[in-house]
Amino acid sequence: MCGISGIYGLEKITDPRASVSAMNDTLAHRGPNASGIFLQDQVCIGHRRLSIIDLDSGSDQPFLDPSGRFALVFNGEIYNYRQLRERIKNWEFKTQGDTEVLMAAYAEWGIDCLDLFHGMFAFALWDIKKQRLFLARDRMGIKPLYISMNKGSIIFASEMRALLASGLVPAKLDHTSLWSYLQYQAVHGGATMIEGVHMMPPSHYLEIHDNEQELKRYWFPGDKYIAGLDQSNPELVAAKVREKLRTAVERRLVSDVPFGAFLSGGIDSSAIVALMAETSSTQVSTFSVTFAEEEYSEAKYARLIADTYHTAHHEIKLSPKDFLESLPEALNAMDHPSGDGPNSYVVSKVTREAGITMALSGLGGDELFAGYGVFSNAKKLLEMKWLQVYPMFMRRLAALVLRNVKRDAQGAKMAEVLTLPWMDLLHIYPELRKVLIDRDINNLISSKNATFDSAVRMHLTRVPEKWRSWPQISQISWAEMNSYMIDTLLRDTDQMSMAHALEVRVPFLDHELVEYVLGLPDIMKTGQGPKPLLVKAMGDLLPRQIIDRPKMGFTLPWEFWMKGELKGFCETHLKNLGERAIIDKNFVLQMWNSFLKGDKRYTHARIWHLVVLEHWLSKNHVET
């Protein structure tokens, strides 16, 4: 796990080494163990290393092959590198790690090597002989790669801040992305808050040669959809899920450093810890956040799993004072603004301080096994297609009544759903995931009536259309994975864990497990209780207390804190945001005062991401 950076096209770059060095310095927190720069012909690439596999300096990067043909910078892990190494006969290996195997695999199979990798990665490989740059990102978008094209040059890095530090990318706000952020507390579809900067899409590669560029998808789960499934036997399906998840966990225990797991006491993290204990030859270390506010604390459930599997358990007791003290650090660690980031920052910090360099997470379990309320809500609304027979003026009237009768955030959101042109998943799902409705955003931004279409909807229209023929739950899963999961959860996890040089691995996003579960019919994923397929697959590994407990999610008691210890902090940032020409000062303060008075239309989530936005704009000196 590391940080990479680079520039292709150096003709107009005065000092490319200085620019890449500045990017490297910005990425120092991602890789404290080693750094390096390679400069030749049309490319300059840089690397910061966090040693996880093969701690020897021989695996430092940029990594050069003995023949002098290839130069590689690589962020991530290839879990099956040992198996691939055995298959490569025409390479004399000098190291014991996965970096050299990645390079040898590319030399052996070319682009097809991507189909063979089990892992999470973003890498850049320069072919000196062909003068060709090859960039690739893992299937599920676990590791980030930001790209900017500027005056004939292509600048890339693991973080957006590194691009800004290069001096080659102006820090100018993208106003279309601002609308997306206000809608979803994240920017979707590969866009970012900086004009001209994009994230490389997951499961894609980019080849660059002279003035030619080819961006191409190399994986899509539908390509193996329903391949070899015995859908008539629930017991067989559950056993197969158990086998694939166990294999996914086992793959991710490959490490030459101490490892642990995040444990909330929910089904997902408990399943990961149970399988870690089953497959690991050493005691598992677990970490959980606890609160003084009992209604937010999952401590007793985490302790139950820790006791059941005899883990070395660490509880992180969090008080408002503790959080307030660490909040500036957490916000400063944000490479891209998000409403959720500080949650991951706290647990990552304490995990790293305990001597753990790599941790497993239950992220992805809700998306894959239909654990969120958005699944049931979307299914209910999809059953209401009959609403389309009513003329729009009648639906708008019904929406007005609903908005006045049900005066909360959910009522406002459902009122917008009633006026959708189509009651299909492509229109319903993006509405369900909104934080602020369009009416509020139009009041919030100073350029009135500058409505943009839903970034989530636009992004889903660009996904290979075959996903719309899948079973309904699989369609919702893929929508979740390609929006909320990639652009909020995975981005937050990466930037907040890497702020402490902690690598986080996510077994639920193993691509073979994802392919299998998405290929199953809905009936296999429905039933009594939460995530019935996963629960059935885990069998007696999960205590009933974990299965039957109320779902809480990994969240912080924001409302209490924002009306208490964090009130001054929030108010200052909201006032500063209101001073910007892009924001209507009166409306942002109206939202804040409504929140303080308990107005249910403006919950903490609808306010906090505005606080974060102002902090991020100010911290990064972004021109608005």
pLDDT, tens digit (0-9, with 9 covering 90-100), for 422-464: 889 999 999 999 999 888 999 999 766 565 678 888 888 888 8
* 398 and 523 assigned to the same domain: no
273 pLDDT above the threshold of 50: yes
The pLDDT tens digits of the residues spanning 293-323 come to 665 567 889 999 999 999 999 988 777 677 7
Distance, CA of 360 to CA of 358 (rounded, Å)? 7
Quote the pLDDT of residue 446: 77
Residue 156 lies in a domain: yes
* 323 and 366 assigned to the same domain: yes
> pLDDT band at 326, cuts 50/70/90?
confident
The pLDDT tens digits of the residues spanning 594-612 come to 999 999 889 999 999 999 9
* 382 and 449 assigned to the same domain: yes
Structure tokens at 156: 């890339």
For the entire predicted model, the pTM comes to: 0.93
* 69 and 181 assigned to the same domain: yes
Residue 117 lies in a domain: yes
The pLDDT tens digits of the residues spanning 550-566 come to 766 555 678 888 998 88
Q: CATH number, domain at 24?
A: 3.60.20.10
Range of the domain at 297: 223-370+488-548
Q: CATH number, domain at 244?
A: 3.40.50.620
Residue 482 lies in a domain: no
> Which of the listed residues 202, 219, 236 is the one where a domain comes to its end?
219
Contact assessment for residue 160 and residue 199, using Cβ atoms and an 8 Å cutoff: no
Supply the angle between the helices 320-332 and 605-619 in degrees, to the nearest 10: 50
Torsion of CA 357, 362, 368, 373, to 10 degrees: -140
| Torsion region of 54: left, alpha or beta (phi above 0 gives left; psi -120 to 50 gives alpha) | left
Residue 520 lies in a domain: yes
201 pLDDT above the threshold of 70: yes
Q: Given the DSSP bridges, would you call strands 153-157 and 2-8 parallel, antiparallel or unpaired?
A: antiparallel
Question: Of how many residues is the chain composed?
Answer: 624
Contact assessment for residue 17 and residue 163, using Cβ atoms and an 8 Å cutoff: no
* 53 and 193 assigned to the same domain: yes
The strand order across the sheet containing 285-291 reads: 312-318, 285-291, 259-262, 358-360, 503-505
> pLDDT band at 257, cuts 50/70/90?
confident
Number of domains in the chain: 4
279 pLDDT above the threshold of 50: yes
Residue 553 lies in a domain: no
Rounded mean pLDDT, 176-205: 94
